[in-house]
Amino acid sequence: MLEGKVAIVTGSTSGIGLGIAECLAEQGADIVLNGFGDPAEIDRLRSSLAERHRVRAIHSGADMGRPEQIVGLVEQATAELGRVDVLVNNAGIQHTAPVHEFPDERWELILKINLSAAFYATKAVLPQMLERNWGRIINIASAHGLVASGHKSAYVAAKHGLVGLTKVVALETARTGVTCNAICPGWVLTPLVQKQIDERAAREGIPVEQARLELLGEKQPSLEFVTPEQLGGLALFLCSPAADQIRGQAYAMDGGWTAQ
Residue 102 to residue 99: CA distance in whole angstroms: 5
From 51-59, 79-87, 187-195, 204-212, give the range in contact with ligand NAD by CB under 6 A.
187-195
CA distance 190 to 139: 18
Among 64, 84, 146, 169, binds ligand NAD (CB under 6 A): 64
Contacting range for ligand NAD; rule: CB under 6 A; set: 21-29, 34-42, 75-83, 216-224: 34-42
192 binds ligand NAD (CB under 6 A): yes
Minimum distance from residue 228 beta carbon to ligand NAD (Å): 7
Which of 7, 42, 57, 65 touches ligand NAD (CB under 6 A)?
65
Indicate whether 60 belongs to the interface with ligand NAD (CB under 6 A): no
Q: Which of residues 107-126 bind ligand NAD (CB under 6 A)?
A: 113-114
Contact present, 114 and 93 (Cβ < 8 Å): yes
**Closest distance of CB 90 from ligand NAD, Å:** 5
Is 251 an annotated catalytic residue? no
Residue 30 within binding range of ligand NAD, rule CB under 6 A:
no
Contact between 148 and ligand NAD (CB under 6 A)? no
Do residues 88 and 20 touch, judged by C-beta distance below 8 A? Answer: yes
Q: Does 14 bind ligand NAD (CB under 6 A)?
A: yes
Check 11, 17, 57, 155 and give the catalytic one.
155
**Using an 8 Å Cβ cutoff, are 85 and 134 in contact?**
yes
- Nearest distance from C-beta of residue 23 to ligand NAD, angstroms: 14
The H or E element containing residue 13 is: none
Among 5, 34, 129, 239, binds ligand NAD (CB under 6 A): 34
Binding segment (CB under 6 A) for ligand NAD, from list 6-14, 44-52, 212-220, 240-248:
6-14
In angstroms, give the least distance from the CB of 131 to ligand NAD.
27
**Interaction with ligand NAD in 196-255: which residues (CB under 6 A)?**
none
Q: Which of 127, 89, 68, 115 is nearest to 7 (CA)?
A: 89
C-alpha torsion sign, points 26, 27, 28, 31: negative
Pick the closer one to ligand NAD by CB: 185 or 232. 185
Q: Is residue 235 within 8 Å of 244, Cβ to Cβ?
A: no
Q: Which contacts of 113-119 are long-range, i.e. CB under 8 A and separated by 24 or more positions? A: 113/64, 113/65, 114/154, 114/155, 114/158, 114/159, 114/162, 115/157, 115/158, 115/159, 115/161, 115/162, 115/165, 116/67, 117/10, 117/64, 117/65, 117/70, 117/89, 117/91, 118/89, 118/162, 118/165, 119/165
Note the Cα 90 to chain centre separation in Å. 2
* Residues annotated catalytic, as ranges: 155
Residues that bind ligand NAD (CB under 6 A): 11-17, 34-37, 63-65, 90-93, 113-114, 140, 142, 185, 187-188, 190-193
